[in-house]
Structure 1
Amino acid sequence: MRPPVEVSVCLLSLLAPGVLYTINNIPALQEPLPILGVGMVVLGCVLLLTLLIVRNQKKVDPLFYAFAEFSFTCLVGLTNALEQDGFISGFMGFYVKKGEPHMSTAYAVMMSYWEGVLHYLLFLIIIHRMFKGKSYRSLALLWAGSSMAHQIVLIPGVVVGKYGSNIRPAFWRNIPFFLAPFWAASLLFSRPREMPIVTADKISVEQKKSLLFRPVDLLLSLLLLAAGAFSVFRGFVVLDCPLDTCFTYVYQYEPYLKDPVGFPRVMMLAYLFYAVPLLTVFIYGLRTPGCSWMLDWTIFFAAAMAQTQWCHIGASLHSRTPFTYRVPADKWWPVIGLNALLAAAPALLALRCYSNPAYFMKPVPKGQANNEKKKN
């Protein structure tokens, strides 16, 4: 009897630490070009083994192959995080030295934990649901948003930061991993949305309420507004705004924004140019009935903000960040509180949309609403 597909993928991904340990003990494979070549060969072998796992399946979603491949790299990331934090040794030394030196930074360590735990579990759950014929679109959107945000910060951060002058060939393996979330997101958004069954009467009643009579939505609008204002402010800070408020904040509250690794600067600019417009659009969606796109985009955005804020908060406190760039001990609570707000506001909005979607569903024509009443 063959094991379930998700179990086979799990067992395949568990080979990652063994592969890393083997390469770490073969000196001939520890030069920049061989590291890239071996990496591509290993990923190719993982794909071949994945094809063998599902060879008897009649129809396989193409996203499965991406999720199986990423499951393997998640374990690579978790191995890196554990080694950089001193829990294990002898696995990633060659890669950090001759492959991607930025993987030793606090940001990369926090990113590796996120991938190695949350993304990995998410992949196994998605694959399980995929082969059980259950819906997994919303879960996959969570991964797509999180992974896209990670790549948007990681790659430009390496290029513009202090590691930009020390880019090795292995860095270019990130290109397919950068493109994969965009491809997956385009597939997921093009598929039918999972809409709950809501009566026409309930939709009509919900959509007649103004924002003032929906206290939860009003509070969420204020939270989104505050999150947007904070993102604009920190965008100005990393752009070296000469205002005294910006100067005081970056040196007394969040000096990590000036860390030369480049990741915090790129992240704040991504917030300024991408997150702020989306937050504004979401406030519009809370005021305007029938914005069904809110049901997908809030999930996607919440995952992106959760991933970036986890990395940002963790890196600003991590021992691998130089002491002068860490959040001062006496400023922990205001800084962590503001950053937690930035992650919590989109998550609460996504939860609100998911738990009670009537306001965001397309208005039902009057004739159809009357038919609903007659049926009831």
Structure 2
Amino acid sequence: MRPPVEVCVFLLSLLAPGVLYAMNNIPALQEPLPILGMGMVVLGSLLILVLLTVRHKTKVDPLFYVFAEFSFTCMVGLTNALEQDGFISGFMGFYLKMGEPHLSTAYAVMMSYWEGVVHFILFLTIIHRMFTGKSYRSLGLLWAGSSIAHQVVHIPGVVIGKYGSNIRPAFWRNVPFFLVPFWAAFLLFSRPREMPIVTADKIASEQKKSLLSRPIDLLLSLLLLGAAAFCAFRGFVVLDCPMDRCFTYIYQYEPYLKDPVGFPRVTMLVYLFYALPLLTVLVCGLNTPGCSWMLDWTVFLAGAMLQAQWCHIGASLHSRTPFTYRVPADKWRPVIGLNVLLAAAPALLALRCHASPAYFMKPVPKGQANNKKKRN
């Protein structure tokens, strides 16, 4: 009897620490180009093992190979985080020295924890649902949002930050990891979503309600507008706005925004130019009946904001961030509170949309119901 595919992927992922330990103790592999070459060989070999794992399957979703490969890199990330925080040693020294030295920063450590725990659990869950015939589209969109948010901050942050002058060949392995989540997101968005069975009468009843008669939606709208305003304000702060409030905020409340590593600055710019418009559009969706796209984009944005805020909050408090850039002890509550609310707002909206989606469904002829689609 063959073990479940997700178990095979889990076991293959556990090879990552052993591979890193071996490479850390082979002098010939501790130069920039050999590190890049060996990394490509390892990922290629992993792909062959993954192909052998599903060779008996007649039809395999191409996204499976993405999730299986990324599961392995999740364990690489978790190994890095544990070593940087002093729980283990002897695994990542060679790679930090000749591969990607920025992975020792507080932001990268928090990013690695997120990958090694949240993404890894998501991958195994998605693979399990994939091979048991269950829908995984929403979980896939949650991961896609999280992964894209990670990459659009990670790569530009390295280039424009203090590590930009010390980029090694191994850094360019991030290019496919940057492109693949966009491709995966495109595939997931293009697939039909699974809708619950709701009668036309209930849909009509929900869509007749004004925002004032929907207190939860009213509260969420205000929360999203507040999150959008916070994104705009901090975007102006990192763009060196000369206003007194901006100056006061960056020096007295959140000095991490001027950390020379570059990651917090890029995060705020991503919020300003991407999260802010999307938050505004979602507020409009809460006020416009029949916006079925809300069911997808709320999940996508929730994944992106949760990942970005986990890294940002964690890095602003982490011991690897210089003391002068950490959140001051007397300002901890308001700063962390605002950042937690910024992460929570899209997540709460996504939960609301999926808990009671009738308001966002397309109207159907009276007496009929939306059919539940059992497609991935």
**Length-normalised TM-score, structure 2:** 0.98
Q: Distance in 1 between matches of 2:58 and 2:5?
A: 14
Cα deviation digits, residues 139-159 of structure 1 (max 9, x gap): 111100000000000000000
CA distance in 1, matches of 2:70, 2:184: 12
Aligned pairs for 1:1-376 (under 5 A) are: 1-364=1-364, 368-370=365-367
Q: In 2, distance between residues paired with 1:322 and 1:35?
A: 29
Give the letter for the 2:251 counterpart.
Y
Cα distance in 2 for partners of 1:140, 1:47 equals 20
Gaps of 5+ in 1: none
Shift of 1:57: 0.3
Contact 2:199 2:367 in 1 (8 A): no
Mapped to 1, the partners of 2:368 and 2:60 lie a distance apart of 40
Q: SS at the partner of 2:163? A: helix
Q: Distance in 1 between matches of 2:223 and 2:115?
A: 28
What is the CA-CA distance between 1:207 and the residue it aligns to?
Answer: 0.2
CA distance in 1, matches of 2:42, 2:332: 42
Partner SS, residue 39 of structure 1: helix
What count of residue pairs does the alignment treat as equivalent? 369
**Structure 2 Cα separation of the partners of residues 363 and 280 of structure 1:** 24
Query: Is the contact between residue 221 and residue 286 of structure 2 (CA under 8 Å) also seen in structure 1?
Result: yes
The AA in structure 2 aligned to 1:369 is: K
**Cα shift at 1:53:** 0.2
String of CA shifts for 1:11-64, please: whole Å, max 9, x gaps: 000000000000000011000000000000000001000000000001000000
The residue identity in structure 2 corresponding to 1:86 is: G
Please state how far the C-alpha of 1:323 moved relative to its aligned partner.
0.4
Instruction: Give distance in 2, aligned partners of 1:302 and 1:6.
Output: 25
Provide the alpha-carbon RMSD of the alignment: 0.7
1:285-344 deviations in Å (ceiling 9; x for gaps): 000000000000000000100000000000000000000000001111000000001000
Query: For structure 2, which runs of at least 5 residues remain unmatched after alignment?
Result: 370-376
Tell me: higher relative CO, structure 1 or 2? Use CA pairs within 8 A at least 6 residues apart: 2
Amino acid at match of 2:149: A
Q: 2: CA distance between counterparts of 1:143 and 1:215? A: 30
2:260 is aligned with what amino acid?
Answer: P
**Inter-partner Cα distance in structure 2 for 1:370 and 1:150:** 45
DSSP 3-state at the match of 1:91: coil
Q: Is the 8 A contact 2:200 2:368 kept in 1?
A: no
2:143 match: secondary structure? helix
Amino acid in structure 2 at the alignment position of 1:156: P
User: Structure 1 vs Structure 2: percent identity of aligned residues?
Assistant: 83
- AA aligned opposite 2:366: A
Counterparts of 2:46 and 2:330 in 1: how far apart (Å)? 48
Distance 1:131 1:287 in 2: 38
Residues 58-84 of structure 1: per-residue CA shift (max 9 Å, x gap): 100000000000000000000000000
**d(CA) in 2 for partners of 1:19 and 1:259?**
33
Shift of 1:2: 1.1
Shift of 1:363: 1.5
CA-CA distance at 1:172 after TM superposition: 0.2
Q: Helix, strand or coil: the match of 2:56?
A: coil
Other-structure match for 2:372: none
Shift in Å, 1:370 = 4.5
The separation in 1 between residues aligned to 2:314 and 2:307, in whole angstroms, is 11
Work out the CA distance in 2 between the residues paired with 1:279 and 1:183. 23
Distance across 2 between alignment mates of 1:279 and 1:118: 24
Q: Distance in 2 between matches of 1:176 and 1:371?
A: 46
- Runs of 4 or more, structure 1, over 2 Å off, are none
Q: Aligned equivalents of 1:323 and 1:28: distance in 2?
A: 37
Equivalent position SS for 1:320: coil
Partner amino acid for 1:134? K
The 8 Å contact of residues 199 and 368 in structure 2, kept in 1 or not, is answered as no
3-state SS of the aligned residue for 1:162? coil
**1:94-125 C-alpha deviation (Å, 9 max, x unpaired):** 00110000000000000000000010011001
